[in-house]
Amino acid sequence: MYVEMRHVNKTFDGFHASRDVSFGIEKGHMAALLGPSGSGKTTILRMIAGLDRPDSGDILINGVRVNDLQGSKRGIGFVFQNYALFRYMTVADNIAFGLQVQKKGKAEIKERVEELLELISMQDFGKRYPHQLSGGQRQRVAFARALAPKPQLLLLDEPFAAIDAKVRGELRTWLRNMIGRVGITSIFVTHDQEEAMEVANAILIINEGSIEQIGTPEEICRHPKTEFVADFIDAKRFEALMALRG
């Protein structure tokens, strides 16, 4: 397992945001966290990223316990909805940000930024500012910024929530291909079940701070383990999706 949580608990002023959360995600897999609003999805990502500390339990990355390791040293990239691009920096400077923090050399930064601009098909956008981009382009830049320091793990918290349905579908496909190409392990939060079913190798269903079930989209949809999962999952949509794929 590349990322693991073992019996993690987290409370905020007595409110249980994570209850005995345990799961593992294999290297190179893309896992989706699905659950109602307030169920504790962001809390899990924040603890993995080192932005919050668990009250108890362990977090492991590549077999190493990272509870006491600073977030910036965990080799994680993240694209959070509320972690927008830096408005007063160009696209290129946004992408270079993590590399500047790591005090990489000028030439190396320039080369890596060019590589990433190419990866997101925005070679000619380096000098633009975020307000000169579309929502979808901005999210691609946010993605490039997260990938620049070559993280081993990518966390995405509803990266496409603010984008309209059509562009979102395109971005979703783009992201899946991109993640496949880079071969990075990733966890993403979404409200969109279809998005989860289409993109993820593993789905984690979370409710009131507890993991209800972990499994492949097929396992979750065809063999829900709890009443909550059976209720929550739109199995018909999954079957329709499967039929479309043939």
Ligand X SMILES: Nc1ncnc2c1ncn2[C@@H]1O[C@H](COP(=O)(O)OP(=O)(O)OP(=O)(O)O)[C@@H](O)[C@H]1O
DSSP structure string for 183-240: T-EEEEE-S-HHHHHHH-SEEEEEETTEEEEEE-HHHHHHS--SHHHHHHS-HHHHHH
Smallest separation, CB 51 to Mg ion (Å): 12
The contacts of residue 9 (CB under 8 Å, 6+ apart) are 16, 18, 19, 20, 21, 54, 55, 56, 57
Smallest separation, CB 37 to Mg ion (Å): 7
Binding partner selected for residue 94 from Mg ion, ligand X, none, CB under the kind-specific 5 to 8 Å limit = none
Is position 161 an interface residue for ligand X (rule: CB under 6 A)? no
Quick check: 199 and 211 in contact, CB under 8 A? no
Is position 190 an interface residue for ligand X (rule: CB under 6 A)? no
Is position 137 an interface residue for Mg ion (rule: CB under 5 A)? no
Smallest separation, CB 17 to ligand X (Å): 4
Binding marks (x or -) toward Mg ion, 31..70, rule CB under 5 A? -----------x----------------------------
Report how far residue 139's alpha carbon sits from residue 199's, in angstroms, rounded to the nearest whole number. Answer: 17
Is position 40 an interface residue for ligand X (rule: CB under 6 A)? yes
Binding partner selected for residue 151 from Mg ion, ligand X, none, CB under the kind-specific 5 to 8 Å limit = none
Is position 180 an interface residue for ligand X (rule: CB under 6 A)? no
Among 179, 124, 125, residue whose Cα is nearest residue 155: 179
Exposed / middle / buried, residue 131 (Cβ in 10 Å: 0-12, 13-18, 19+): exposed
Is position 90 an interface residue for ligand X (rule: CB under 6 A)? no
Smallest separation, CB 168 to Mg ion (Å): 17
Report how far residue 90's alpha carbon sits from residue 94's, in angstroms, rounded to the nearest whole number. Answer: 6
Q: Which is nearer to Mg ion, 38 or 180 (CB)?
A: 38
Report how far residue 223's alpha carbon sits from residue 206's, in angstroms, rounded to the nearest whole number. Answer: 16
Residue for token digits 């290129």? 92
Is position 82 an interface residue for ligand X (rule: CB under 6 A)? no
Beta-carbon neighbour count of residue 115 at 10 Å? 13
Q: Which is nearer to ligand X, 35 or 126 (CB)?
A: 35
Quick check: 23 and 212 in contact, CB under 8 A? no
Q: Which is nearer to Mg ion, 42 or 213 (CB)?
A: 42
Binding partner selected for residue 180 from Mg ion, ligand X, none, CB under the kind-specific 5 to 8 Å limit = none
Residues found near ligand X in the complex (CB under 6 A):
12-13, 15, 17, 35, 37-43
Residues found near Mg ion in the complex (CB under 5 A):
42
